[in-house]
Amino acid sequence: MPEQTRPTVREQTLGAMRELGMTTVFANPGSTEVPFLVDLPDDIDFVLGLHEGSVVGMATGWALARDRPAMVLLHTTAGLGNAVGALATARVNRAPLVVLVGQQDRRHLEHEPFLAGRLEGLAGDYPVAVHRPPRAQDVPAAVVRAHHEASHGRGPALVVVCMDDWSHPVDPGQPRAAAVRVARPAHVAPDDGAAAEVAALLDGAAHPALVVGAGADSTPAWAALTALAERLGAPVYQESFGARAGFPQDHPLFAGHLPAERSRLREALRGHDAVFTAGAPVFRQYIYADGPLVVPGTRLAMVSEDPAEAHRGPAGIAVIAPVAPFTAVVADLVRERPVSPAPRPAAAPEETAPPAEGEPLRAAHVLRALAERIAPDTVVVEETPSSRPQLHRLLPARAPLGFLSAAMGGLGFALPAATGVRMAAPGRPVVAVVGDGSALYQVQALWSAHRYRAGVLFVVLANGRYAIMDRLAEHRGGKPPWPAFGEVSLAALARGLGCPAVEVRAHGDLVRVLDEVVPGLADRDEPLVLDVAVVPDPTFAP
C-alpha cells in the first residue's frame, strides 16, 4: 500500500479511542499537541480547562461518575508539572485516566530542543504506568495498554507522544501489540475459604462492627454491606477522610465517621471485639499519636480490590477481592442477630437552629438549609476542610456517589470534579460545597462549567481566610503568620469567568435562592455560584 494512503498513527489511535469509548478529551493544550488536535473529528468531544489542575479534576469527576477511563491531554513539562497534584488526587481517589503528554519532535529530541521535557519521572510514583513508545507506530498500542492499566490499576496511566509521531504511517497488517479488551469480571466468586474465615470471625464476636470506605461506593456494595450489617446487628462506621461513602449514611446502623487521631480511634472502636473493613484501609489517620490503632483483643479483617491497601493493612486477614460479591457471600454465611440502632453523634444546637435576626451565618446554617432541600440522589462534592465534620453530620450520603471528596487532601479538587461529574451524569443534581480558600486553587474551572453547560450549584462558604489552618495553629497553641483575604470576592471572580454568581449575606436570602434553584438542579444546564459570607467556626476536632 502506498505510504500516502496508509493510515497514520493519529488515525489508528483515534480508532482505538472509539473502540474503548474514550471519545471525550479533557485538555489544556500547547504547541506539541497541535498535530493531534487540528481538525479533530466531530465524534471526538474536546473539553477545555484553563489550568491543568482543572483539566485533570474534571476528568477525575467524569471517570468516577461513569466508572471508566477518561482521556486527558497535557502539554509537555509545564502541563504535566502543573497537573501532578491533581494526578496524585486521581490516583488516591482511584480514578482511571489515560493521560497523553505531548513531547517535542522525536527527530531532534536528543538535542533537548525548546519545550523538550524530561517527562517519564515527573509525576513520580502516582501514575499506575508510564509509557514512552519506542517508535511512532507503537503509540496506538501504548494508548490501548494505558486504558487497560488505568482500568485495572484504578489510576492515571501516562503515554508520552512526540509531536511528529501522529503523522507517521502505520502498516495495517502489523498487529497492534495490545489486546482490544482485557476481561476482569467484576463478579468473580470470592475465595470460599476466606469468606468462611471472615464469617467465622464475625460470628465469634460478641460485638462486631463494620468499617466502610470509598472502595465500597457502588449499588451492589451498599446492598451487600447493608445485608451484612443487618444480619449482624452491627454498627457501621465510615473511614476517616474517605473520598466516597461506602454505606447509606441515613441507615439506622450508620454510626458516623471514624476520627483521624489514634487515641480517639481506639475509643470509637472500644467495645468491638471484631472489626471488618470493606473498601477502606485499616486505618487511615491524620494526626499521629502513640499506641495501637485498636485496643488489645480487637481482631481485624478486611477486603479490598486494591492490593497495596490490603498488603499494608495491619489486619489478621486481608482479602484481595471485589468488595460487593465477597461481602455478599460473608453476609449469607453469618448468623442473624437482633438489630438495634447505632449511636450517632448528635448535632450541636447551633447546627439545627436558624440564626437569630442580625446574627451572621455559620457554615452549619448553610449546610442545614441545603440538607432540608436537596434530593436523595444529589452528588455532594466537598472541599471545605474547616466545616467537613458538620457537613458529614448534616448532609449524609443517601445514594452511591452521593459524596465525593479529594482522597489526597490537596486543594483544587471540588470545582473541576463537580463539573466533570455533572457532564458525565447530567441527570443527577450536583452541589459542590467549597471553602473560599479551596475554591481559589482551581477557580478557572468555573469557566469550563459555564462553557460546557454543567449545571452545578457551587456553594462557596466564604470566611475570608484559611480557617482550617487557623484552627490547626491554635490547636498547637501558636499564632498563625498568614493574613486573612477578606477582600477577595468569589462572586466577582466567577462573573469574570462567565459564570453566574449571587452573593448571600443573610439567612433569608440564602433560603430564597435555594428555594428557587434547588428544585430544578436535575435539569439545570447553567452553573451558579453562591458566594455565602460565613463567620469561621471556632471549633476544631481532627
In a domain, 542, yes or no: no
Residue 178's pLDDT is 54
Residue pair 73/132 in contact by the 8 Å Cβ criterion: no
Residue 214 sits in the same domain as residue 118? no
In a domain, 343, yes or no: no
Q: Is the whole-model pTM more than 0.75?
A: yes
Task: Provide CB contacts within 8 A for 376, sequence distance 6+.
Answer: 398, 399, 402
Residue 448's pLDDT is 96
Residue pair 280/244 in contact by the 8 Å Cβ criterion: no
Distance, CA of 512 to CA of 373 (rounded, Å): 12
Residue pair 137/68 in contact by the 8 Å Cβ criterion: no
Write out pLDDT tens, residues 488-518: 899 999 999 999 999 999 999 999 999 999 9
Residue 126 sits in the same domain as residue 272? no
Kindly give the residue spans of alpha helices, DSSP state H, lying in 313-412.
Answer: 323-333, 349-352, 363-371, 388-394
Q: Is 478 helix (H, G, I), strand (E, B) or coil?
A: coil
CATH at residue 243: 3.40.50.1220
Write out pLDDT tens, residues 454-498: 999 999 999 877 777 777 777 777 777 877 777 889 999 999 999
Residue 347's pLDDT is 61
Most confident option among 27-41, 298-312, 448-462? 448-462
CATH at residue 133: 3.40.50.970
Residue 357 sits in the same domain as residue 505? yes
Residue 310 sits in the same domain as residue 407? no
307-326 average pLDDT score:
87
Last residue of a domain, one of 99, 134, 167: 167
Residue 381 sits in the same domain as residue 521? yes
In a domain, 187, yes or no: no
Q: What percent of the chain has pLDDT over 90?
A: 63
Looking at the structure of the chain, the number of domains it has is 3
Q: Look up residue 216 and give its amino acid.
A: A
Residue 485 sits in the same domain as residue 397? yes
314-336 average pLDDT score:
91
Last residue of a domain, one of 167, 202, 235: 167
Residue 5's pLDDT is 74
Greater confidence (72 vs 308) lies with: 72
Lowest mean pLDDT: which of 4-8, 81-85, 302-306?
Answer: 4-8
Q: What percent of the chain has pLDDT over 70?
A: 93
In a domain, 539, yes or no: no
436-454 average pLDDT score:
94
Strand order in the sheet with 156-162: 45-48, 24-27, 70-74, 97-103, 156-162, 129-131
What is the extent of the structural domain holding 8?
A: 3-167
Residue 189's pLDDT is 63
Residue 374 sits in the same domain as residue 311? no
Average pLDDT value for the chain: 89
**Nine-digit cell at 70?**
477518561
By CB atoms closer than 10 A (0-12, 13-18, 19+), residue 279 is buried
Distance, CA of 112 to CA of 310 (rounded, Å): 42
Residue pair 538/526 in contact by the 8 Å Cβ criterion: no
In this model, does residue 540 exceed pLDDT 70?
no
Distance, CA of 306 to CA of 224 (rounded, Å): 19
Residue 152 sits in the same domain as residue 245? no
In this model, does residue 175 exceed pLDDT 60?
no
Residue 321 sits in the same domain as residue 428? no
In this model, does residue 297 exceed pLDDT 60?
yes
Residue pair 382/388 in contact by the 8 Å Cβ criterion: yes
183-210 average pLDDT score:
80
Residue 238 sits in the same domain as residue 358? no
* Residue 498: Cβ within 10 Å count: 13
265-283 average pLDDT score:
92
Residue 353 sits in the same domain as residue 295? no
In a domain, 284, yes or no: yes
Report long-range pairs for 366-370 (Cβ below 8 Å, ≥24 apart).
Answer: 366/433, 366/459, 366/461, 366/510, 366/532, 366/534, 367/391, 367/394, 367/395, 367/433, 368/394, 369/507, 369/510, 369/511, 369/514, 370/394, 370/395, 370/431, 370/433, 370/459, 370/514, 370/518
pLDDT band at 539 (very low <50, low <70, confident <90, very high): low
pLDDT band at 372 (very low <50, low <70, confident <90, very high): very high
Greater confidence (358 vs 106) lies with: 106
In a domain, 137, yes or no: yes
In a domain, 368, yes or no: yes
In a domain, 540, yes or no: no
Write out pLDDT tens, residues 217-238: 999 999 999 999 999 999 999 9
Write out pLDDT tens, residues 146-160: 998 999 889 999 999
413-441 average pLDDT score:
94
Residue 327 sits in the same domain as residue 362? no
Question: CA of 232: how far to CAs of 80, 229, 252, 280, in Å?
Answer: 48, 5, 13, 20
Last residue of a domain, one of 300, 333, 366: 333
pLDDT band at 115 (very low <50, low <70, confident <90, very high): confident
Task: Provide CB contacts within 8 A for 433, sequence distance 6+.
Answer: 366, 367, 370, 380, 381, 382, 383, 384, 387, 391, 395, 414, 459, 461
Greater confidence (185 vs 319) lies with: 319
Greater confidence (417 vs 474) lies with: 417
